[in-house]
A and B are shown apart, each in its own frame.
Chain A
């Protein structure tokens, strides 16, 4: 019988992220220069089979038809995969959320709209529960030594500090924070350990680290040193630079709890 440890060892989650544009998976560097990375449903199915713990789909399509096409895509994904998945991109209302959850998504990721209208967080949490509200924060370390919140896919700087915004979001009912360091995203030089640890240690909700994962040691670092609950990456998985089973074996070798 396993030891009945008082603090549970939830598995650290490995989350491939699929950026979707016009129905295809794309991946850019530092939020620009998009490359095609294949059919999202096929990729999603592959990742589920390989042992991904969860998936995130971020729709960056800018057409007026996007809502309907996204809902259709969510249905196709939900039919195929047997692990949880989060959908984000352009969600502006509780109604948007109910369409996506009704199509089979488990959680929604909100970013710019939540910053501009923080009550959106509370509204979704009330309607569907905190557990399905993933607040995405794109943040950049500036010369003054502070991490600032950026909006609109990293194009618009705000005066808000990442830590303050995350705290406020928790109070409003956010269930998880998806933290992307713009300084690290696309660099493959490792995750932003300091801001990830700061949030992870201070917030009563899980923190998903994103941006910069380039080799297996980076994932060890973000779990061991930065106390992230989950780590998200895109291109290293899409372009098969790191295989998820290999990554999990590597983490297990460091005593990090992973689902194998």
Chain B
């Protein structure tokens, strides 16, 4: 099977590559349009900031290439967010493949321009929402072959401050302060907010399921 990973300026490509290797798959990391178009499956990873990731795609003409892909595509984390319409992260227009919005979790945080005093106002011991969401959370309402064999409430690993809003395209939910789309699908485009490549056996199974689509 010919698996291509989209090469652009986003992190964690290496981790996805290693995860596939553990499944016995040698993937190609490429930014070449023909190589992406001819792959059996395309994985679109990402860790980083949405606007610079979009800019990198545009500079390399990859935005148009990704939109036209016909084979199964799996966006991971920021890769998933970029499949959506728009992200609140630096007011970024995304690829618009899955027509949902990406918002910031409704909590203050330590990031960019928000001072500590401001961020402590909403805090009071346990039960506060720390942003980014870092850690193991559970997914439910699983409805896609992508989650074949995955029990409801399985734990998956998350690192993110922004989330895709719940919609008709949601194929898995997760709660963090509010219910959001842990995974989305439209046509041949799949996206998971969590990190399959770091989600232990559950993540391995989801990657395996994607490769079996």
Residues of A within 8 A of B (CB): 1-2, 4-11, 13, 48, 53, 78-80, 82-84, 101-104, 106, 125, 128-131, 167-168, 170-171, 173-176, 201-206, 227, 229-230, 259
Closest B residue to A173 by CB, please name it: B110
| A residues less than 8 Å from B129 (CB atoms) | 7-8
Inter-chain contact B14/A102, CB cutoff 8 Å: yes
Contacts of B151-198 to chain A: CB distance below 8 A: 152-153, 155, 157, 159-160, 174-179, 195, 197-198
> Can you name 9 A-B pairs with beta carbons within 8 Å?
A2-B153, A5-B175, A10-B133, A10-B136, A48-B200, A84-B195, A101-B11, A129-B49, A130-B109
Q: How many interface residues does chain B have, given as a range?
A: 35 or more
Instruction: Select one of B127, B132, B201 contacting A7, CB under 8 A.
Output: B127
- Cross-interface CB contact of B109 among A106, A176, A204, cutoff 8 Å: A204
Q: Is B40 an interface residue (CB 8 A)?
A: no
B157 with A170: CB separation less than 8 A: no
- Chain B residues contacting A103 (CB-CB under 8 Å) are 14
How long is the Cα–Cα vector from A129 to B89 in the complex, in angstroms? Answer: 13
For the complex, what is the distance from the CA of A204 to the CA of B147, rounded to whole Å?
33
| Pairwise interchain contact B18-A259, C-beta atoms closer than 8 A | no
Pair A82/B177 contact, Cβ less than 8 Å: no
Known A201-B124, A227-B126; 20 more pairs at CB < 8 Å: A2-B153, A4-B179, A7-B177, A8-B137, A8-B175, A8-B176, A13-B135, A48-B200, A53-B135, A82-B22, A103-B14, A104-B15, A125-B111, A170-B116, A173-B111, A204-B116, A204-B120, A204-B123, A205-B130, A206-B135
Are A11 and B136 neighbours in the complex by a CB distance under 8 Å? yes
Decide: B15 and A53 in contact? CB cutoff 8 A. no
Contact of A79 among B18, B125, B199, B201 (CB under 8 A): B18
Name A78's closest neighbour in chain B (CB-CB): B18
From B124, B130, B152, A2 is in contact (CB under 8 Å) with B152
B134 and A131 within 8 A (CB): yes
Are B123 and A53 touching (Cβ within 8 A)? no
Tell me which of B107, B116, B157 contacts A84 (CB under 8 A).
Answer: B157
A129 contacts which chain B residues (CB < 8 A)? 11, 47-49
Give 6 nearest A-B pairs by CB, closest first.
A11-B136, A259-B155, A8-B176, A10-B135, A171-B116, A204-B119
Interface centre among B140, B157, B176, B204 (most CB of A within 10 A): B157
Query: Measuring CB to CB, which residues of chain B are less than 8 angstroms from any residue of chain A?
Result: 11-12, 14-15, 18-19, 21-22, 47-49, 107-111, 115-116, 119-120, 123-138, 140-141, 152-153, 155, 157, 159-160, 174-179, 195, 197-201, 203-204
Distance in angstroms between the alpha carbons of A84 and B133 in the assembled complex = 14
Report B100 CB to chain A, min CB distance, Å: 19
Which residues of A are found within 8 Å of B138, using beta-carbon distances? 2
Q: How far is the CB of B106 from chain A (nearest CB, A)?
A: 11
In the complex, A176 Cα to B109 Cα: how many Å?
Answer: 12
Cβ-defined contact, B130 with A11, below 8 A: no
- Give, as a whole number of angstroms, the nearest-CB distance from B103 to chain A: 16
Instruction: Knowing A6-B175, A8-B137, say if A171 contacts B115 (CB, 8 Å).
Output: yes
A residues near B160, Cβ cutoff 8 Å: 131
Partner of B22, one of A5, A7, A79: A79
Q: Are A11 and B137 in contact (CB under 8 A)?
A: yes
Contacting residues, chain B, for A128 (C-beta < 8 A): 11, 47-48
In the assembled complex, the CB of B181 is this many whole angstroms from the nearest CB of chain A, namely: 13
Distance A93 CA – B35 CA, assembled complex (angstroms): 36
Complex Cα distance, B199 from A104, in Å, reads 15
Contact B15 A106 (CB under 8 A): yes
Distance between Cα atoms of A173 and B124 in the complex (Å): 21
Most chain B Cβ neighbours within 10 Å, of A2, A7, A8, A104: A8
Residues of A close to B12: CB separation below 8 A: 106
Which residues on B sit within 8 Å (CB–CB) of A13?
A: 135-136
Is there contact, CB below 8 Å, between B157 and A130?
A: no
Distance of B57 from chain A, by nearest CB (Å) = 18
Tell me the minimal C-beta distance from B63 to chain A in angstroms: 22
Q: B152 to chain A: which residues have CB within 8 Å?
A: 1-2
Determine if A202 and B130 form an interchain contact, defined as CB atoms under 8 angstroms apart: no
CA distance A4 to B177 in the complex (A): 9
In the complex, residue of chain A having the shortest beta-carbon distance to the beta carbon of B129: A7
Residues of chain B with a CB closer than 8 A to A206's CB:
130, 134-135
| A202-B134 contact given A7-B127, A83-B157, A170-B110, CB 8 Å threshold | no
